[in-house]
Amino acid sequence: MSFLYHRPSEYRTHMNKEGELNLQHRAWHQENGTYAFSHALGAVIIVIGILIALYPVKPELSALGSGLLILMSCTTLSFLISTPEAWVPALGDANHGFPYLSGVGRLIVKDFIMLAAAVATLADSAKAALSCRLRTSAF
């Protein structure tokens, strides 16, 4: 997702360790657009959740939200392949690389659960939306 940042080539040099507060790095991330992207992504996730929650009122919107969640989950899961930080680095221990997930990798794995839930809610929402259409078109 580095193409969304202003200066992606400098990103690695400004990464913080988990729990670290580095005010210079924070200022750089604000200038780079890192936080703006993060906030926009959070807003998109909230909208997707609202769409899925509209199931009792508008199952077709719930199906749309489920479809969007499937796309988002697949995109995030692709980071397991494209992001070296998802795996434990070789720092001297024999246990590194695949299948040893780092903190970043473990965060990504939750998307398997979201993907499964999205497939289930998409099927249920689509079924409800189609049965609603069939009942209204019968009149």
- Mean pLDDT, the chain, as a whole number? 88
pLDDT at position 1:
66
The pLDDT of 86-91, averaged and rounded, is 85
d(CA 92, CA 1): 30
The pLDDT of 93-115, averaged and rounded, is 87
> Percent of the chain having pLDDT more than 70?
96
d(CA 37, CA 59): 30
91 φ, ψ (degrees, to nearest 5): -120, 20
| Residue 18 CA: distances (Å) to CA of 15, 21, 49, 94 | 9, 9, 27, 23
User: Could you read off the pLDDT of 89-101 as tens digits, one per residue?
Assistant: 888 888 888 888 8
Q: What global pTM score does this model have?
A: 0.77
pLDDT at position 138:
60
Query: 4-18, 23-37, 42-56, 97-111: lowest mean pLDDT where?
Result: 4-18
